[in-house]
Chains A and B, each alone.
Chain A
Amino acid sequence: MREIMLNLSEKIFKSLDSRGVSEAEFYGVWGKTISITVSNDKFKTINVKDVGEYGLRIAIDKKVAGIGSSDLTIDPEIIADRIVKIAKSSPSDPDWPGFAHNYSRGVMASIYDHKLAKMQIDELSEILRQVMEYSKEGGKKEGAEETIITRGDITVFIGGLYVANSYGENLYDELTAVHIDYMVKSRKEGEESSYYLVYAYRNLDEEILRKDAYKAGEYSVKFIKAKPIESGEYTLILDPYMNAEFLTSTLIPAFSALNIQQKRSPLVNKIGEKILSEDITIRDDPGIDWALGSRSFDDEGIPTRNKVLVDKGVLTEILYDYYTASKDNRPSTGNGFRRSPSSPPQPSPTNFVLLSNGNTMSIEDMIKETKKGILVHGLIGHWMSNYVNGATQGTVTHGFYIENGEIKHPVKGVVIGGNIYDWLGKDLVATGKEPIQFANIYTPEIMISKTRIAGK
């Protein structure tokens, strides 16, 4: 596929050159996926996809435009005509620095699993069958009369990405991924509840997968007879996955130089200032083997590097792409990633890692230390939290009410609300010992002294 993308980009650059356009950038992605879906405990369908698409961005006198297509056999003259027309109609961007150059690779990590790349449908379906069995065993161990996998899927991906510019540079990489996402439902004493298995890595680690699948089965039983609790102020314990969800919606976008420059982040002019508890350190780490965010170059061809964003509570660095970095007169941090092939890059993390350098506790000790609180294992609506001011909110679907150091009963249907800078700042009691992976976020559990709950 690299050769196809390279030939296409060269032809398009040539067509653009004949129209007097010397600044252009090509970004192509391709992927083959196999997905098996599950419904009510059985396989339902298999979907095999083979799709490639690309984006082209050009600048004429600081007038910028983008076009995206999935037509790999397109006449370059057509695409050149269209994009030139759009660019010429756009107003100039006085801050336009040109496209990134000096392509190279930075931090290397394992992102291509040869075993996964060769996986056939039969092997994949057997893995899924076994994983489902582990979930059922987990449910049985917790006393479920019946445990089923209601719906979900397993997807294996092999693909590549190619970035090139009209200055004669290009880079190409291939990667793999596997994603399993399903809901487990259990019945016990005439009542039902459910839980989810989510596994997303660049390789298939069967040991982790088995453990997670078994846990999903166990947890599917634990929330039977869940009910709301009274409105009020409670101690809050977020498991690593739920903490990762809040980091994604409220904290991570605040580190984007674009949001900071456009005054959509509370971190404007905060470099060197304490923004979180001194027990918290945050890194952007593109070099974790098999992690979803690991990359050696970003979507602009700029090498990635390790960086500390928050050092013992103090903001030390933010995330830049080439455009925002040029605007602040500094080099990009290698964090320019795109929403779609034709979109401009925007600053985003590779792997966002929250580490504790203060009071750590096991989850058991956190529960013991709680007089009146809630431990949250499942949320909906958390993604509507507000990164502009740090306000956090979400509705609990899977939680436990804790009283005097003991779990009393499962909880659902209450809204938790607060602010991420308080939760990871003045209200932080402790963090768990080890960061746990969830997509491209690594974080331990966190214990927060107080949060507002809307319930009964």
Chain B
Amino acid sequence: MTISSVELDKLIKFGEENGASYIDLRLQEKTYESIIVDNGVVREYSVDISKGVGIRVIVNDYEGYASTNDLRIEKIKEAILDAIKSAKALENKAYKIELYSRPVYKDKIISHYATDALEVDPSEKIDLLMNMYKLAKSIEGIISVSPRYGYEVDHRIFVSSNGDYIDVTTRLIGIGLYIVGQTEGVTERLWDSNSRIAGWEYLKNLDIEKFTLENAKLVVEATRAPAIKPGKYVAVLDNEIVGLMLHEAFGHATEGDIVEAKGSVLEGKIGKQVASELVTIVDDGRIDGGYYLPYDDEGTPKIKVKTVEKGILKTFLHSLSTAKKLGGKPTGNARSMSYSHTLLVRQTNTYMEPGDWKVEELFRDTRKGIYIKGKGALGGQVDPAMGTFTFTAGPSYLIENGEPTKLVRGVMLSGFILETLKNVDAVANDLIVHTNVFGGCGKGGQIVRVGDGGPHIRVKEITIGSGR
């Protein structure tokens, strides 16, 4: 970053001198390298570098934001004045903002990596994707293959008038495969990816051949599979899909800003039973396999939080302002997509704690139902006020006589926030958490990286529909 800590201190003072009772600056420099191969041709090789500073001030208890990507000191000062002007414009028209008073933090963290992928020769990355293309194309029935590579280096510095100085650099890398199969006029697609907080070494050690061939074979198999019959099912959910369900079915409704806005069906439910007693849900910024977020974007440590413990709602996820307003404690969940966005309360890595069932026991105990798989799942969505959530799964299997049998495709699941998790009647002991360099969670026009996961679980009843 081009602004020294001395200059940052001067900018903080400038804000205070101009009327801010509190001011924080969020500097960000982010590089995203993307390669897309489309049926053997490099469709895109791009490197995006974004750099800028976001400012938040509180003036007479009102909050204003401004941002600029012009990092000359005079321009940043102009942005600070814009933020102050915005806060003043809200006087007597808006909520008064009060931040939870927490200790001051100073820290510098770089996520673990061995080789910065930006330093690796571009031809090596292209070769990797070309190899994926050739492998997938070798499977009969594959008509379109688009392998992708993504790598981001996200460097964020947070300073505040309270004295915080947090400097975190996170590297996230991954590959993805968008693939189309066709058999006897039936066409199906599949998207799958594999990402990790790491450098180039992660892809060097990944079994690319296995990843590619498994997906290519699966999509061809899916073209021969029927669409699932709509209705209610007993479902065994795999690790990936459990994470997706928790994120949508529950996580969003625990976000403090949604609760504060009276937009969550979980308002007033702290201490109440909201899930089966087998269910404990965690939000953790440092879990292995997930996205790495040691501090949030207002400098609060992202602590491991159990939002639900043995089925009881324990806390919401908080920023400093929602913690103060809703009477909770800060959980380190104030996040922004970039320096230019405002802070929202967001999930980090959402997962269910493992139980004591073995996965094979879980199947043996389920005579008839469906095994919902996450490979190829596209994501999910929730309406936290209506209490309805939905998500798609990848190609999945019917369960007959205690084992997965026939493949079905086009699976979309739906449920109600206050009902579905009460129907969890078995939790296995195999916890896995994933993150994703190609996507994330969307809210209020902002996308942030998240992770999710859990063990295999069984849900007694869930609604499943399908397109065809």
Contact = CB atoms under 8 A, between A and B. Distances in A.
A277 B254 CA distance: 45
Contact of B261 (A40, A384, A455): A40
B274 interface: no
A381 B38 contact: no
Contact of A343 (B46, B121, B122, B386): B46
Contacts of B340: 47, 49, 51
Across the A-B interface, give the 6 residue pairs with the lowest CB-CB distance, nearest first. Answer: A415-B465, A391-B467, A454-B465, A454-B230, A395-B390, A46-B86
Contact of B51 (A65, A70, A82): A70
B249 to A, nearest CB: 12
Interface string A391-421: 1111101100000000000001111111100
B38 A45 contact: no
Q: Is the interface of B mostly helix, strand, loop or mixed?
A: strand
A382 B168 CA distance: 36
Interface stretch (B103-111, B185-193, B450-458): B185-193
B467 A344 contact: no
**Which interface class (under 10, 10 to 19, 20 to 34, 35 or more) fits A?**
35 or more
A46 to B, nearest CB: 4
Interface string B50-92: 1110000000000111111110100000010011011101100
Contacts of B69: 50-53, 70-72
Contact of B388 (A185, A383, A413, A456): A413
B463 A413 contact: yes
Interface in B228-258: 230-232, 257-258
Nearest to B411: A393
Residue in B42, B70, B262, B263 whose Cβ sees the most chain A Cβ within 10 Å: B262
A300 interface: no
Given A50-B67, A70-B69, A82-B47, A417 B388 contact: no
20 contacts: A43-B90, A44-B63, A46-B87, A66-B47, A69-B49, A71-B51, A125-B90, A125-B93, A183-B263, A183-B385, A193-B385, A193-B386, A194-B385, A263-B144, A378-B386, A384-B412, A391-B410, A412-B386, A417-B468, A454-B412
B390 A151 contact: no
Interface string B324-354: 0000000000000000111000000000000
A192 to B, nearest CB: 7
Contacts of B257: 39, 151
Given A263-B143, A381-B392, A342 B46 contact: yes
Interface in A264-302: 264, 266
Given A47-B64, A50-B67, 4 more contacts: A46-B90, A381-B391, A389-B187, A419-B468
Contacts of B9: none
Contact of A385 (B52, B144, B188, B467): B467
A130 interface: no
A380 B45 contact: no
B261 A39 contact: yes
Given A48-B83, A344-B44, A417-B467, A89 B383 contact: no
Contact of A415 (B43, B385, B464): B464
Interface of A: 35, 37, 39-40, 42-53, 55, 64-73, 82, 85-87, 89-91, 93-95, 121-122, 125, 129, 148, 150-151, 153, 183, 185, 192-194, 223, 226, 228, 231, 258, 262-264, 266, 340-344, 378, 380-381, 383-386, 388-389, 391-395, 397-398, 412-419, 452-456
Interface in B353-395: 378-383, 385-386, 388-392
Contact of B45 (A90, A231, A383, A417): A90
B468 A49 contact: no
Contacts of B121: 89
A47 B446 CA distance: 14
Nearest to A381: B390
Interface centre among A66, A391, A419, by most chain B C-beta atoms within 10 angstroms, is A391
Contacts of B1: none
A384 B230 contact: no
Contact of A65 (B46, B49, B232): B46
Contacts of A226: 386
Contact of A393 (B38, B49, B466): B466
A409 to B, nearest CB: 15
Contact of B466 (A148, A193, A389, A417): A417
Interface-centre pick from A35, A226, A264 (highest chain B CB count, 10 A)? A264
Contact of A231 (B38, B126, B231, B382): B231
Q: In this complex, which of A125, A148, A385, A389 has the most chain B Cβ atoms within 10 angstroms of its Cβ?
A: A389
Given A45-B342, A47-B65, A151-B258, A456 B46 contact: no
Contacts of A413: 388, 414-416, 463
A388 B187 contact: yes
A42 B188 contact: no
A153 to B, nearest CB: 7
Given A226-B386, A380-B390, A388-B189, A47 B263 contact: no
B86 A89 contact: no
Nearest to A455: B463
Nearest to A151: B261
Interface in B213-241: 227, 230-232
Contacts of A185: 262-263, 385
A48 B82 contact: yes
Contacts of B45: 64-66, 86-87, 90
Contacts of B68: 50-51
Contact of B465 (A87, A193, A414, A456): A414
B79 A50 contact: yes
B260 A39 contact: yes
Contacts of A53: 50, 69
Given A64-B42, A194-B386, A417-B410, A45 B64 contact: yes
Given A86-B122, A392-B467, A380 B385 contact: no
Contacts of B414: 381, 395, 413-415, 454
Contact of A40 (B85, B231, B260, B381): B260
B78 to A, nearest CB: 9
A86 B47 contact: yes
